Structure formats: structure tokens, C-alpha cells
Structure 1
């Protein structure tokens, strides 16, 4: 199993925060070498799964999440952390030694990506593989204004629609609704390229922004409060793991 993790400082006008981020990748056999990191309840849940795809997604989420938590809190051992699932499927950190920590988890193929952040500073993350066959499906979830943005900014529409999708899904994780919300309510109203990243804002959720990055065949979007800032180069060191 390959892994990368980092602790990234966040700056606001009157406060400072941090978030932990981790990306892991590996085959199911490589991931299962780390089963000792699972909490007893997690191991019981994992053992109940019959299909390899479900086992894979579970391990990618739990193993990457615990590394992100460790970056933020410096807490170990991993098997003392139980990452439970709430009624709307968002992750919940349960550990007596860790308080007021939240998670956002995403996985695709054999890669797991997680961020851990303080409850006082909401964030969300998502990444997807760019697939031209999904262009039509993603386009159907966009408003006319968003379609016009993509047509104006991107020569490859699949890349543009995937960027919008990841930004919207990351925002929906902050609201803890996931795919249950109409994604047109999470409309993006501006997308600006800034160096190697794209920064977006939301029409109806003006207090948030999205930072998106294309890495190989993937696009990853991090959503955070609009007036929070961090060193982009620190994040890109982690995202380049996807190349």
C-alpha cells in the first residue's frame, strides 16, 4: 500500500486552523495487510462484506481517514478510532481521546482520499476519474449557466463537468446530504484558473469556495469557507500522488 499524508495550516482574519489530509492506494491484498488498524467494530463490519468492491471501498475510506486524523491530532493507535456511519451515511469519529473532529472521505478505483478537520471549520472533499462516457450524465445535473461556463472554459467538456461535479459533491458533504440533494441547488457561478488550480464559487452558498486540481486522469475538489486560505503548494504536494 502506498500512502501520503500532511498537516496543512489554514488562516482566517481572526483565527488559525489546520486540516489533515491523506491519500492511499493499493490492491485489496495490500490493503488487507493493514487490518490491524481497524477498530474491533470496524473489523466486524468489514468481515460481513461478501463482495471485493465493497471491501475495497471500506478499507480505502477507513485507512485513509485514520491517517488524516493522525496528521491533525497526532493520535495513535489507529485501532482505537471507530469511524461510524450516521443516518445519512456521513462518517462520524468515535474515540474518547479525540473530540470535535470531523471527516470527509472520497474513494475511486483503488485510491482513497480523506481530510480531517475541526468541527469549527467545515470542509468537504471529493475526487473522480474523468470519463468521457459520463459527460452526458454529468451535464444533465448542471444548470444552463454552468453548461455555458464549461463550454467557455474547457476544450474537453468531460473535464469541466467532472470538476463541477466534484465541487458540488464536496459541498454536499459539508451539508451532510450527499447525493440526496438536487445538485442544481449547489450551482457554481464562477470558475477561475489560478496557476495550476481552479477556484470556484457557489451561486447560493456564497460563504464557500472550491479549489480544484487536475491530476492525471483525476480531478479533485476541496471546499472550504470562502475567506480561509492556505499554501496551495502544500496541497499540491499531496494531490500529485494521484499522477
Structure 2
């Protein structure tokens, strides 16, 4: 498994809030050895992992666990990954259990890339990573409002990238709210997008207390949703290098 850890920050007025991120990639379960499993998974997690029958499910589980534990460990400046436990809330949102620290994490993954961001629980955040696929964009368009389709048509992104961009902006918000897409997608309607073809800021119609930043990296889109009172100090080059390193 390859991984890249990043330390950045949210800034609220003149207050800096540390935010750590971890990017991981894994293309084959054959590369995983027992020593690696013993480093990152606790007893309950190992039992669960060993019961998984399919390699794809094992890969997605490891991408989520390793990226989240590395992001949390980086945030707390510790290397005891087994002391960190990630459990599921009632809506499958990740819950951190680690020495009573008030930390929130948000996790996302594609087929081979996993990504987690961690920060203070007082600052809700959500992330999403999606591959750009022209077949996928057709399905996404059917789930967008007329206003959102117009946003894409008016921007230089083009339909293939634009529709997936809006999807990641919505999904990142759904993770902030910790309910996923259990309500109408219209609730998450994107009111405005601005920026260039590589770094896009998104704003919501019904959730003006949040905003998002999307980075276009090769054939992937990475979106982070965070409180609109804050500025995200994460530049394009940092995200680019992290993703390219893991490809």
C-alpha cells in the first residue's frame, strides 16, 4: 500500500484549526502481509477483515481503515494505530474512539484510492473522491436540477467533468450532515460554482453555512466541504502530488 499524509488547516478569523489528511492506494490484496495487518487493525477489525470473502471488499475496508487511522494518528501525533477505533453510527457515518479525543473524520474511496480528513469535532467536514467517467455522467445528469445543469453549461468545465463535480460537491455535504443520500438530492442543490478548471469553489442553496472546494487531479475529482466561516488552506499542488504519488 502506498500512502501520503498531509497537514493543513482551516482558518476561522484569526484562529487556526489543524486538519490532517491521508491518501492511500492499493491495487491488489496480494501486496498485504500479516505484519501490515497487525500494525493497523485491532483484534475486532482483524476478525471482521478475515471474514470478508471478496478481495474488492477487503481492499475497500483497508483503504478506509488505514487512511483514517493515519489521518487521526497524524492529528494526535501518535503512532499507535491499534488504539484507534473507527465505528459506524446509525447512518453508517464514521465514529472515532480514541482516548476521549474530540475528533471527527470523513472517509471516501474509489476502487483503489482511499482518503480521510480529520479535525476537531467542532468543525464538521466532508470529503468525496470520484473518477471522471462519461458513462457515469449520464446517470448523474438525471439527478440534477435544471439550475444545476445550467451552472455546468455556463462554466468551462464541460458536461463530463461538470456533472461529476456537482455530484462530489453534494456527496461531500451529505457526509458533513452524516446522513448520506437518505433524503432528496434536491435538498443538496448547488447554487453557484466559481473558479478555474482545476480548482472549483461550490456554494449550496439550502446550506449556506457550508461551502466546498473541488480539485481536478488527472481523472479524479476531490471535494472537501467545510464551514463557510472558515478558509481552507490547502493548495492545488499539495492535493495533486498526493494523488499522483498514490496512482
Selected match of 2:113 from 111, 114, 119: 111
Determine which of 68, 72, 76 is the counterpart of 2:71. Answer: 68
Task: Indicate the SS of the match to 2:211.
Answer: strand
Aligned to 2:202: 200
Which residue of structure 2 lines up, in the alignment, with residue 93 of structure 1?
A: 96
Q: CA deviation at 1:98?
A: 4.5
- TM-superposed CA distance for 1:7, in Å, is 1.4
3-state secondary structure, aligned to 2:92: coil
Distance in 1, Cα, partners of 2:29 & 2:185: 32
Extract structure 1 runs of 4+ deviating beyond 3 A. none
In structure 1, the residue matched to 2:123 is 121
The answer to whether the 8 A contact 1:65-1:103 is kept is yes
- Out of 157, 174, 177, the position equivalent to 1:175 is 177
C-alpha deviations, 1:58-84, integer Å up to 9, x for none?
A: 000000001110121112210111111
C-alpha distance in 2 between matches for 1:219 and 1:158:
12
Aligned-pair RMSD on alpha carbons?
A: 1.6
TM-score by length of 1: 0.94
Unaligned runs of 5+ in 1: none
Which blocks of at least 5 consecutive residues in structure 2 are unaligned?
A: none
Select between 161-170 and 188-197 the one with higher mean Cα deviation. 188-197
Shift in CA distance, 93/155, structure 1 to aligned 2, threshold 3 Å: closer
* Equivalent position SS for 1:214: strand
Distance 1:239 1:31 in 2: 26
Residue 16 of structure 2 is matched in structure 1 by: 16
Match of 2:218 among 202, 212, 216: 216
